[in-house]
Amino acid sequence: MHYVSTRGHDGHASFSEILLGGLAPDGGLFLPEIYPRVTPDELTQWRSLSYADLAFEVLKKFATDIPESDLGALTSKTYTSTVYRNCRSGEKADDITPLRTLEKQDGNTLMLQSLSNGPTLAFKDMAMQLLGNLFEYTLAKQHAELNIFGATSGDTGSAAEYAMRGKKGIRVFMLSPHQRMSAFQTAQMFSLQDPNIFNIAVRGVFDDCQDMVKAVSNDLAFKAKQKIGTVNSINWARVVAQVVYYFRGYLAATTSNEQKVSFTVPSGNFGNVCAGHIARMMGLPVDKLVVATNENDVLHEFFRTGVYRVRKSAETYHTSSPSMDISKASNFERFIFDLLGRDSARVKALFAKVEHSGGFDLSGAAGSDGDEFKQIGQYGFLSGRSLHADRLRTIREVFAAQGLMIDTHTADGIKVARENLTPGVPMIVLETALPAKFNETVSEALGRDAERPAGFENIESLPQRFEVMNADVDAIKAFISNHTGL
Ligand SMILES: *Cc1c(COP(=O)(O)O)cnc(C)c1O
């Protein structure tokens, strides 16, 4: 198995070779040269596996250059009931991603798969925890080290820090806007005392943080000397780790491979639902993949019309499901590559067009860039949009009917899932965060605070370790080199 770029570059790179990197050398995204297939016999055997063993079976089809015994050790160490322990009552930590039935009516079944039982209470732990172990393993083999440098407004930064804390050969330097994250998210990140984690609170807004990450990335000499890397959502290993829970959800919802299920996915950068697309391409019997967006509906617009139109910052709304507040979807190019029959020259031209004119049109209308949107049905994609009022209403309804508290992103998923049910085909909504992370809106909806899992009760009062700095690139660079000693 080797990896190719969506824009045509083929350096015959292996899984380990692309693991630590970001974009392909031509600016495209890596994908396997062909999707491995899963046979019905394999699927049947996988029904009885633990999550860790299932992860091993899926990953070994993609990470063919890691010895199987090493890969098995990595997945066993990642997917344990101690790491994914933040379960609700009625859920078993051993299940890792427990599945429950929410509603059953007129042949329609709506289910919820919990992906948020990891250390930071959001689904990003599912992939990031594996990434931490894969990075540590690969760096040790190469006798190398890596300094992860990034910017966060919440979720990704904390998932990365909890995945990399205490890992040999790795340091994390994470910028965040000073006093602009929620108290809970600040406490989650800043209470980490591990000496390899550096939280830098920048006097400024998130865009200032991101600008500094870009400035450092453009300084190739500094980047090379300081061994700077990232863990952003286009990382291939993150996507492939997410493929596993689609298999798990399917196997938990069905008893025979003749059955189909659909998934609804609260979406931002299209990483999560892209993993669902890959699972479907591998032969998993998935009927529909429903992309749920919030007010930032760039993906819903595409799946409705075939027009991909990225938004400017002024048109990107701050919503109560903030992890879906995106202006362009960084993993979307992977799906477009498949939709265009893997024609990398066209992908390259279309994404060049995104850069200079803000989008492309595959609707087939006069003057459009192509008509491939006509084939969208073959990939099973549907979409929908959910607004603040929908979120509040859905949180209330689910609590009233089930006594179950859900977060705002999951509420977007449930709202959109209900609009896309098919009798006889279970619909699984992926739960992407626990409500404690977004208490402000949950308490607006319910008039009471969100539950917190055990161990998180007093997180805001723990001692915090962070550095406050100005939005000054040279000062940040000096801070990094002083702490790496490189
Ligand atoms: C990151 C995130 C999303 C969006 O996932 P993508 O992979 O970017 O589409 C949705 N909900 C929550 C809670 C998240 O943290």
Q: Predicted confidence band at 415 (pLDDT cuts at 50, 70, 90)? A: very high
Distance (Å) from CA 61 to ligand 1 centroid: 25
Our mutation pick for probing the ligand 1 site, out of 120, 123, 330, counting the most ligand atoms within 8 A of Cβ, is: 123
Q: Predicted confidence band at 153 (pLDDT cuts at 50, 70, 90)? A: confident
The pLDDT value given to residue 395: 98
Total length of the chain = 486
Question: Which of ligand 1's atoms lies nearest the C-alpha of 273?
Answer: 9
The pLDDT value given to residue 328: 87
The pLDDT value given to residue 210: 86
Our mutation pick for probing the ligand 1 site, out of 269, 330, 333, 381, counting the most ligand atoms within 8 A of Cβ, is: 269
Give 314-355 pLDDT, tens digit per residue. Answer: 888 999 999 999 888 989 999 999 999 999 999 999 999 999
* DSSP β-bridge partners for residue 4: 31
Would you say residue 310 has pLDDT above 90?
A: yes
Residue listed under structure tokens 């190019």:
333
**Position 120, amino acid:** T
Catalytic residues, by residue number, are 124
Q: Do strands 228-229 and 261-266 pair parallel, antiparallel, or not at all (unpaired)?
A: unpaired
Would you say residue 207 has pLDDT above 90?
A: no
CA 258 from chain center: how many Å? 29
Contact partners, residue 133, CB within 8 Å, separation at least 6: 74, 77, 78, 167
With contact defined as beta carbons under 8 Å apart, do 273 and 283 qualify? no
Would the CB of 268 count as within 6 Å of ligand 1? yes
The pLDDT value given to residue 233: 83
Dihedral (CA of 123, 127, 133, 135) sign: negative
**Position 223, amino acid:** K
How distant, in Å, are the alpha carbons of 90, 241, 253, 264 from that of 291?
Answer: 28, 19, 20, 6
Would you say residue 87 has pLDDT above 80?
A: yes
Closest CA to 173 of 470, 486, 483, 485: 483
Would the CB of 413 count as within 6 Å of ligand 1? no
Instruction: For residues 289 and 191, give the distance between their C-alpha atoms in angstroms, rounded to a whole number.
Output: 38
Mean pLDDT throughout 199-227? Answer: 90
Would you say residue 181 has pLDDT above 90?
A: no
Mean pLDDT throughout 434-444? Answer: 95
pTM of the full structure: 0.96
Say which CATH class 97-120+237-446 falls into: alpha beta
Domain definitions of the chain by residue range = 97-120+237-446
Give 287-309 pLDDT, tens digit per residue. Answer: 999 999 999 999 999 999 999 99
Would the CB of 412 count as within 6 Å of ligand 1? no
Instruction: For residues 137 and 390, give the distance between their C-alpha atoms in angstroms, rounded to a whole number.
Output: 44
Q: Predicted confidence band at 37 (pLDDT cuts at 50, 70, 90)? A: very high
